[in-house]
Amino acid sequence: MTAGREWTTGLCWRCEADGVPVLWLGPAHSDDHGHAPFHTCEPCVRRIEELIADHVARRYAAT
C-alpha cells in the first residue's frame, strides 16, 4: 500500500490531526484556489484504501 513512499510530519487533511506522520496522496484541486498537496495520516490512508476497494468491488459487481 505505502511501500517506498516517503512519510513526513504534518497535518492530516482528512482528520486534521497535526504533528503526525503523513503521506502525500497527490494534489487536491479547488475551482477557487487551484491545487495543494493532499496529505493523510496512516489511519486515514487505511480508510481511503477501504473506500477505494469498496468502490472497485461495487463497480465490478455492477458489470
Please give the biggest Cα pair distance in the chain: 43
- Bridge partners (DSSP) listed for residue 20: 10
pLDDT, position 63: 75
The average pLDDT across 30-57 equals 97
C-alpha torsion angle, residues 42, 38, 14, 53 (rounded to 10): -60
Does residue 3 have a pLDDT over 80? Answer: no
Does residue 47 have a pLDDT over 70? Answer: yes
When the pLDDT of each residue in the chain is averaged and rounded to a whole number, the result is: 94
**Rounded distance between C-alpha atoms, residue 18 and residue 3, angstroms:** 23
What confidence tier does 1 reach under pLDDT thresholds 50, 70, 90? low
pLDDT, position 2: 67
**Rounded distance between C-alpha atoms, residue 2 and residue 50, angstroms:** 14
